[in-house]
Amino acid sequence: MNRDSALPPRSVFCFTTMWSIWKCYRSRLPVGAALCVFVLCWLYVFPVYRIPDQKEIVNDVLHQPVWRRNQTATTAFRRLLENCCETKRMFAVTQHNSPMGKNLWFDGEFLHSLSVNNEMFAMFPQDTPFQIPLKKCSVVGNGGILKRSACGDKIDKADFVMRCNLPPLSNEYARDVGHRTQLVTANPSIIKKRYQNLMWSRKAFVESMKVYGRSYIYMPGFSMKAGTEPSFRTYYTLSDVNANQTIIFANPDFLRNVQKFWKGKGVHAKRLSTGLFLVSVALGLCEEVTLYGFWPFSTDLEERTISHHYYDNVMPDTSYHAMPEEFLQLWLLHKSGILKIHVGKCGQIPM
Ligand SMILES: *[C@@H]1O[C@H](CO)[C@@H](O)[C@H](O)[C@H]1NC(C)=O
Ligand SMILES: *[C@@H]1O[C@H](CO)[C@@H](O)[C@H](O)[C@H]1NC(C)=O
C-alpha cells in the first residue's frame, strides 16, 4: 500500500511535527513567491498612495496665496520637459522630423507603424508652423466650471488660445469661453461620430469649422489604426475647399514620450487625457501658460453642482483617463509658479 495515501490531510499533517512544518514551508515556497510577484504587479498597476480627495483639494485651492510666476522653477521644468519630449521640434509631424520612408510607430497600438510615403509627406508642414516661443497662451479645457465664469475676454486676451476636442464656440458661450482659437485638438473618433466619418456631410463639417477661424487643428492621426483614415479625410476635406483651418498631425513619438514623462510623475492612466497632452504642448511652446476649464470635480468651489462640460453633461470613460490624478499634477505646477490654473470666476455675471 502507498504510504502517503495513509497520511492525514496535508494541512493537519503540517502542524504535527517540526519536520513536517519544514517540509510544508518548503513546498509552499513557490506559492509564496508567486503570491509575492502577484502583489508587486498589483501594486504597480494600482498604487496604494492616497490621492487627496476633493475636499482637501478645494481647501487647498481656497487657501492659496496670490499666484506668482516662479521663473527659476519654470525654467527648470521646461528643461526637464524639453529633455524628454523636444516639444518645439517634435510635437507635430513635420517634413523635417518625418522624412520620406520614416516609420511612424503608432503610440496607441502594439507594434503598428506606417511608413511615410509621397501623399503623406505632402500633407506635413515643412517645420513647426508657428513663431516660437509663443508668448502668453490660454489653454482651455472644457470643464463645466467655465459656465457662468465670464472668463471669455481674459481667455481671448492671450496671444495664442488652445482648445480641446472641437468644442462649441457659438455666441451663447462666448462670454464664458471666448471665441479666438489658434490651435484646437480633434480626435478622429469625433469626426466619426459627429460627421459620419465625412462620407456624406462634408459641407456641414466645413461650415462648423468656421468658428475656429485660422486655427490649426491638431489631430492624433497616428495613434490608433482606426484613426488614420478619418484624419486624412479631414485633411483633404479642408484643403479641397481652401478652408482657413489647417490640419497638423500629432507626432506619435512625442505623444509616447509625454505619456512616459507623466507616468514617471505618477499619472497612472491607460492614456492621458487630451487636456494633459495639450498642457504639455503649451508648456513646451509658450512663455506663459494659463489654464481655464480644468476642474475634474462635479461641484465648484462653493459646492454648487456643475455639469461635466460647459456645453453638456456627458461623463468621460473613467477607466481610461485618471482625471483627478492629472489635475493634482497640474495643481502642483500651479503651486510651484510654473503655470496658472484659473478656477474661479473672472467677473460678475448679472443674474
Ligand atoms: C522658486 O522655485 C525654486 C526652485 O523650484 C525655489 O527654490 C524657490 O524657493 C522658489 N521661489 C519662490 C519665491 O517661491
Ligand atoms: C477665411 O477668412 C477670411 C477672413 O479672414 C474670410 O473672408 C474668408 O471667407 C474665409 N474663408 C473661408 C473658406 O472660410
C-alpha to C-alpha distance for 44 and 77, rounded to whole angstroms: 26
Record the cell numbers describing residue 245, joined without a space. Answer: 483651418
DSSP 212-277: GTT-EEEE-TTSSHHHHHHHHHHHHHHHHTT-S-EEEEBPHHHHHHHHHHHHHTT---SS--HHHH
Please tell me if the CB atom of residue 211 comes closer than 6 angstroms to any atom of ligand 2: no
Instruction: Check whether the bond before 65 is cis (ω within 30° of 0).
Output: no
140 within 8 A of 288, measured Cβ to Cβ: no
Q: What are phi and psi of 268, to 5 degrees?
A: -100, 80
Ligand nearest to the CA of 209: 2
222 within 8 A of 114, measured Cβ to Cβ: yes
Nearest atom within ligand 2 for CA of residue 213: 2
Angle at 47 between CA 41 and CA 49, to 5 degrees: 150
Residue nearest atom 14 in ligand 1 by C-alpha distance: 70
Q: What is the pLDDT of residue 16?
A: 42
Record the cell numbers describing residue 266, joined without a space. Answer: 505618477
Residue nearest atom 8 in ligand 2 by C-alpha distance: 244
Residues 259-294 have pLDDT tens digits of: 999 999 888 777 888 999 999 999 999 999 999 999
Residues 60-113 have pLDDT tens digits of: 888 888 899 999 999 999 999 999 999 999 999 999 999 999 999 999 888 999
Please tell me if the CB atom of residue 73 comes closer than 6 angstroms to any atom of ligand 1: yes
Residue nearest atom 2 in ligand 2 by C-alpha distance: 244
Output the CA 182–ligand 2 centroid distance in Å: 15
Amino acid 316 reads: P
Angle between helices 54-62 and 323-335 (to 10 degrees): 20
Q: What is the pLDDT of residue 215?
A: 96
Lowest-confidence segment of 15-19, 41-45, 215-219, 241-245 by average pLDDT: 15-19
Greatest CA separation for the chain = 94
Output the CA 234–ligand 2 centroid distance in Å: 18
pLDDT at 174 over 90: yes
Q: The pTM is what?
A: 0.83
Using the Cα atoms of residue 177, residue 339, residue 272 and residue 313 in order, give the sign of their dihedral.
Answer: negative
- Residues identified as active-site: 321
Grid coordinates 495513509 are at which residue? 6
CA atoms within 13 A on the CB side of 158: 30
Average pLDDT over residues 142-158: 94
C-alpha to C-alpha distance for 91 and 130, rounded to whole angstroms: 12
Average pLDDT over residues 43-53: 64
pLDDT at 168 over 80: yes
| Domains contained in the chain, CATH given | 54-342 (3.90.1480.20)
Residue nearest atom 10 in ligand 2 by C-alpha distance: 244
> Which residues are within 8 A (CB) of 185 and not within 5 positions of it... i.e. 6 or more apart?
162, 163, 164, 165, 166, 217, 218, 219, 220, 274, 277, 278
Please tell me if the CB atom of residue 72 comes closer than 6 angstroms to any atom of ligand 1: yes
- Three-state secondary-structure class, residue 198: helix
Please tell me if the CB atom of residue 70 comes closer than 6 angstroms to any atom of ligand 1: yes
DSSP annotation of 237: H
pLDDT at 146 over 80: yes
C-alpha to C-alpha distance for 56 and 78, rounded to whole angstroms: 28
Q: What is the pLDDT of residue 126?
A: 93
Record the cell numbers describing residue 313, joined without a space. Answer: 453633461
Ligand nearest to the CA of 72: 1
Residues 10-42 have pLDDT tens digits of: 443 334 444 544 554 555 667 777 776 777 666
Output the CA 244–ligand 2 centroid distance in Å: 6
- Three-state secondary-structure class, residue 74: helix
Output the CA 146–ligand 2 centroid distance in Å: 29
Of the chain, the percentage scoring pLDDT greater than 70 comes to 85
Using the Cα atoms of residue 258, residue 141, residue 144 and residue 334 in order, give the sign of their dihedral.
Answer: positive
pLDDT-based confidence at residue 161 (cuts at 50, 70, 90): very high
Mean pLDDT taken over the chain: 86
Out of 244, 245, 246, give the residue to mutate to test ligand 2, the one with the largest number of ligand atoms within 8 Å of its CB.
244
237 within 8 A of 205, measured Cβ to Cβ: yes
C-alpha to C-alpha distance for 156 and 230, rounded to whole angstroms: 30
